[in-house]
Structure 1
């Protein structure tokens, strides 16, 4: 963001300067006291585990310029004297620090000329964001929200972390309740939108697929009449919400009725996937350094936006060739002679199935799926986990299910006709699963690791890296 003064910020957020100096410069914004840098505005947020108001002294001593607070605080008196940094530190009192953070992000967004592309969907948001960013970056200076900064807290931070000179910002938007996408759109002001999917993710929070669809459609409602909505037409529920868009709509996908469709998918061993895209009456050949038809679907959104925003075929082709996915999204790692598919960032029924398809297509050794709980599914959880287990049958040699809901995965896996040579087991937690894996993994194995974010399965990935490095074979990532 550009530098602001404390006085400017107080005016934007409707706050009162209760300590410090209006002319003090602010050059960044943060919410984690451990990561605050000199010149930052610290936004004191009360979370489930910690209250930012308890760390005001820490951020002042680290050189932060100011803090947004919503209650009285005591700071810089613990060591018997005021430090110079604390004497220059400013406090801005507001009714809600979260509301103030959103207001500041919205004000900054309205100052810059950057055009915003909003991306949401039950699955595929991040991979689509990465694809669109990679393509547009071939012609324009393009920003994307880093990591998982896609929530009511993360998105404002992502916007405030953006330099003023970007042509486009590709912003992933997540939600856990009705109205949250609408609020993110109010802050970010997208002119273009992508809707990747509507399925069962967060159904335990929203109650029904209809509510999920209405929540995702809030992005379409926010787009201006001269904007553009790019929708995955392979999903009937996505097609059903097209009427929420006041602007032009373009459908993409693998089915023939889409405006932009892909066909002729071919696996390129050791690299990814090749395919032909048909759009505006012409056909184009593309290659992705990614595997799976779902990744081709995600790439098609980038193809549409590339052509619509004036990129040449060669620029779009180069962008797709150079896609780099965010960490823990179908990241293929080789250690020793084993292959690890790290898809541990999150999980839903649809993404589990896509990951199992990828596992079935990868390598020639034992196909081992290490699957954990899919969270926030509510009453739908037993059925969803059984569905995943049933889908895994015939695609894997070994199924290891981990967590409180693991038994339902195994029920689905074992409920049909038994596939000769397959094996399955259930573990209550990562620790017991990890101990088992230490003596189970063999050279040549291909292992998929996938679960919801709250399961923290990245620790199993690290363990598998250690196991693989101890086995014979070349070590490469």
Structure 2
């Protein structure tokens, strides 16, 4: 996108100055990520004002800045735009790209596994196709807009993730993206307190089809079948995935290897296909099913789809596994919905190693259901007697300690226990706000000290 094209694409432009009509390399909202050819969009937040960094990013090689402060606009030299609202400007830039994009757009939502499924789909398609994948978990209004603004026009597929905090958000995002293919990974307890129970949450998730291109394809977990309305059936070609024998793609045999990885069978059109997933999380097997279905529908061979599934590795904080001085560390510190915590704990218990420890932090996005879900979580832990659990946070304080369960209230207390870990496999799982990545960093630092 050229500087002049970007300016013409934006509504709400108050003033603009073009010194050199350059090609924009990418759009950024964090000045630290700006590089030569970037366009910096300045947002004024609660803690910092991006307008303050406009001059610095231009001096470091950015090709344009979009600001909302008139005084800053007057002071800086170079390609510059003054707009009334930075978010609307960014959304306009994304809409411009979406309007001229010739490839197919895939949109995902669900209570669990959105980011993992997005990466699996991308990994599979990338074996033969050019794919643009929305980065991180940029799944709200701002995140989707910046991902759309950075789309690559020469790709065959673009894969987006959509999240929600309140009713109507996913519908708005769907109408913005206008996807050809939608995926609903499942419906659980995440954000359930902000909707009218599970039915209200399901309605919000399924509104992802609102902006879908005529007769697009919806892949949805067969556990959500009861939420699929006649309106959804009329609008889309619904294809279920899961263990139901009536599903479009059926999960067959699942076998764990001695290393903890999985071999599994997926059956579609009465034909079984065998895959290997290089991770011990069984829910990643479920996340693989829509990736397999989309890959095959795109014309990829079984061999290509198999390579994509085998190549997949989760991102940092999403279940990535690393070695720390002989200890296998599972970094699952980014998110902690109820279903994902239960699954992570259960999968850890199933790994064929002798010493297993789990540091579990407080869950997020379960407003109104805390007492029930924390009770179920602790009950499950007491049943998994081959794992030593350390629960961290005030919400765990009222529960009884058992032989395999310890409870502490702060990260500092947890760090004291981490210092005693010397071997085995250790899971770190908590919602993002708990900052459990600091516990992993503490473990790494402790082992470095002992090695000196």
* Residue deviations 1:128-175 (CA, integer Å, cap 9, x gap): 111111111122111211222222222222222232111111212222
Aligned CA distance change for structure 1 residues 242 and 200 (closer, same or farther; 3 Å): farther
Matched, 1:426 2:414: no
Alpha-carbon distance in 1 for matches of 2:293, 2:71: 51
* Residue deviations 1:206-229 (CA, integer Å, cap 9, x gap): 353233212211212222233100
Deviation at 1:43, TM superposition (A): 1.5
Aligned CA distance change for structure 1 residues 177 and 372 (closer, same or farther; 3 Å): same
Alpha-carbon distance in 2 for matches of 1:187, 1:67: 24
Alignment of structure 1 residues 277-292 onto 2, 5 Å: 277-292=266-281
Alignment of structure 1 residues 365-376 onto 2, 5 Å: 365-376=354-365
Q: What SS does the corresponding residue of 2:27 show, helix, strand or coil?
A: strand
Deviation at 1:335, TM superposition (A): 2.2
Counterpart in the other structure of 1:62: 60
Contact 2:313–2:320 at 8 Å: present in 1 too? Answer: no
Aligned CA distance change for structure 1 residues 321 and 299 (closer, same or farther; 3 Å): same
Matched, 1:435 2:416: yes
Contact 1:57–1:76 at 8 Å: present in 2 too? Answer: no
* Residue deviations 1:376-430 (CA, integer Å, cap 9, x gap): 322212222221111112225322111232325x45xx5xxx6xxx332222221
Alpha-carbon distance in 2 for matches of 1:68, 1:208: 41
Counterpart in the other structure of 1:295: 284
Contact 2:176–2:211 at 8 Å: present in 1 too? Answer: no
Deviation at 1:9, TM superposition (A): 2.5
Aligned CA distance change for structure 1 residues 11 and 33 (closer, same or farther; 3 Å): same
TM, length-normalised to structure 2: 0.92
- Selected match of 2:294 from 293, 301, 305: 305
Counterpart in the other structure of 1:322: 311
Counterpart in the other structure of 2:442: 463
Aligned CA distance change for structure 1 residues 11 and 161 (closer, same or farther; 3 Å): closer
Deviation at 1:338, TM superposition (A): 2.1
* Residue deviations 1:242-280 (CA, integer Å, cap 9, x gap): 742511111001232322111211002226111111111
> Unpaired segments of 5 or more residues in structure 1?
78-85, 473-477
CA RMSD of aligned residues (A): 2.3
Aligned CA distance change for structure 1 residues 11 and 353 (closer, same or farther; 3 Å): same
Say which is worse superposed, 211-220 or 348-357, in terms of deviation: 211-220
Contact 2:332–2:429 at 8 Å: present in 1 too? Answer: yes
Counterpart in the other structure of 1:32: 30
> Unpaired segments of 5 or more residues in structure 2?
none
* Residue deviations 1:313-345 (CA, integer Å, cap 9, x gap): 111111111112222222222223322221111
Contact 2:73–2:81 at 8 Å: present in 1 too? Answer: no
- Selected match of 1:16 from 13, 17, 24: 13
Alpha-carbon distance in 2 for matches of 1:330, 1:281: 32
Deviation at 1:355, TM superposition (A): 0.3
Aligned CA distance change for structure 1 residues 142 and 9 (closer, same or farther; 3 Å): closer
Matched, 1:101 2:90: yes
Counterpart in the other structure of 2:46: 48
* Residue deviations 1:283-333 (CA, integer Å, cap 9, x gap): 111111122331111111111111211111111111111112222222222
Counterpart in the other structure of 2:397: 407
Alpha-carbon distance in 2 for matches of 1:468, 1:215: 46
Alignment of structure 1 residues 373-412 onto 2, 5 Å: 373-396=362-385, 397-407=387-397, 410-411=399-400
Alignment of structure 1 residues 131-146 onto 2, 5 Å: 131-146=120-135
Deviation at 1:458, TM superposition (A): 1.0
Contact 1:68–1:93 at 8 Å: present in 2 too? Answer: yes
Aligned CA distance change for structure 1 residues 151 and 458 (closer, same or farther; 3 Å): same
Contact 2:19–2:79 at 8 Å: present in 1 too? Answer: no
Find runs of 4+ consecutive structure 1 residues off by over 6 angstroms.
none
* Residue deviations 1:11-62 (CA, integer Å, cap 9, x gap): 3221335252276335121111222223322222222322223333333333
Contact 2:179–2:211 at 8 Å: present in 1 too? Answer: yes
Say which is worse superposed, 137-146 or 43-52, in terms of deviation: 43-52
Aligned CA distance change for structure 1 residues 274 and 470 (closer, same or farther; 3 Å): farther
Say which is worse superposed, 150-159 or 109-118, in terms of deviation: 150-159
Q: What SS does the corresponding residue of 2:275 show, helix, strand or coil?
A: strand
Alpha-carbon distance in 2 for matches of 1:152, 1:102: 8
